[in-house]
Amino acid sequence: MSDPGTGAEPASGRFAGLVVGAYAASPAHRSWDPVVESEFFEALAATAGVGALELPWSGSIHPHDDGWLHRRFPAALRAVVTDIPFTMGRIATAPEYGLASVEAGGRQAAVAEVRRLLDGVRAFDHAQARSVVGVVELHSAPKGSRGSADALARSLDEIAAWNWGDVELVLEHCDAWREGRAPEKGFLELTDELDAIERSGADIGVSLNWGRSVIEGRTTDTAVEHARLAAGRGLLKGFIASGVADTDTEFGPAWIDAHLPFAPSPQILHGTTGSLMTERAVADVVTAAGRLEWAGVKVGCARADAPLAERVALVAEAVAVMNRILADDTR
């Protein structure tokens, strides 16, 4: 990995384009409509600069219909699978659940779930007769003192020993626990996650999400600091631009992980007023990161009744902004 601060190289090592956190803007994620979801996927596949879609693991590879996804996922795209939806749902009823759990039962249950996720990835690849999934994002739950770097290292050692084929495993850093503050995720510190990876000896990297780092520190500087730290230890693989606000917006209260679009500007017509995610703020992270194997965007749509065209335009604009940032940083 190149020296942080010398300028990012194009994110082309893993995908032929950017990763799009598609489910955040999907018109059919919560209320299932396979026809509308097909149109949404087809529109994203036709959007210049898109190389992969991030899919949510919710106990299955698709929240509603695995068979539909196996048949209808765009042949031109690959996928990133994140286990954060399942993890957050599970810890809501079982607070000890997670790969970093100091309680053996909680840790073992999380490891077993990752094994199920691997089975889902294999079934997806088999159905498409190709290597669809390029990255799986894991997380260092549970919250606060229920987790430790040592426990996480044990889990990573077990998981990395399985045959993942072409899949790259990463720990996606989320906001760490802060006393006196209600966290969005509240998992381990980034330093603990990096330590756990190194102790395990596993071939696992780290990915960062701009909004989740900013939520942790309550400042955009935290995202830059995280990029420098992970890159400096040679473990930073991917980066997703996803916004957050320090004030109430149409997405809800301040500091929630709602995947806000970029802030409005003369070049950004679909921006969200109040979003802290500006082109400059993301460019600073990209510069600090050095070479990224992959990068992407994850933006939501605040209006539940927003038409498909509006959602696609929102994503396409974010993709164009991110590609502009990556291109400018290599000049």
What are the tens digits of pLDDT across the range 94-136?
999 999 999 999 999 999 999 999 999 999 999 999 999 999 9
| pLDDT confidence of residue 330 | 57
% pLDDT > 70, the chain: 95
Give dist(CA 242, CA 250) in Å, integer: 16
Q: What is the H or E stretch that residue 204 is in?
A: strand 204-209
Give dist(CA 216, CA 206) in Å, integer: 16
Buried b or exposed e, range 258-273, using 16+ CB within 10 angstroms: bbbbbbeeeebebbbe
Q: What is the pLDDT of residues 55-72, one digit of tens each?
A: 999 999 999 999 999 999
3-state SS of 255-282 is: CCCCCECCCCECCECCCCCCECCCHHHH
Give dist(CA 9, CA 328) in Å, integer: 10
Q: What is the pLDDT of residues 205-222, one digit of tens each?
A: 999 999 999 999 999 999
φ, ψ dihedrals at 78, nearest 5°: -110, -175
* Residue 171 near residue 140, CB atoms below 8 Å: yes
φ, ψ dihedrals at 294, nearest 5°: -160, 155
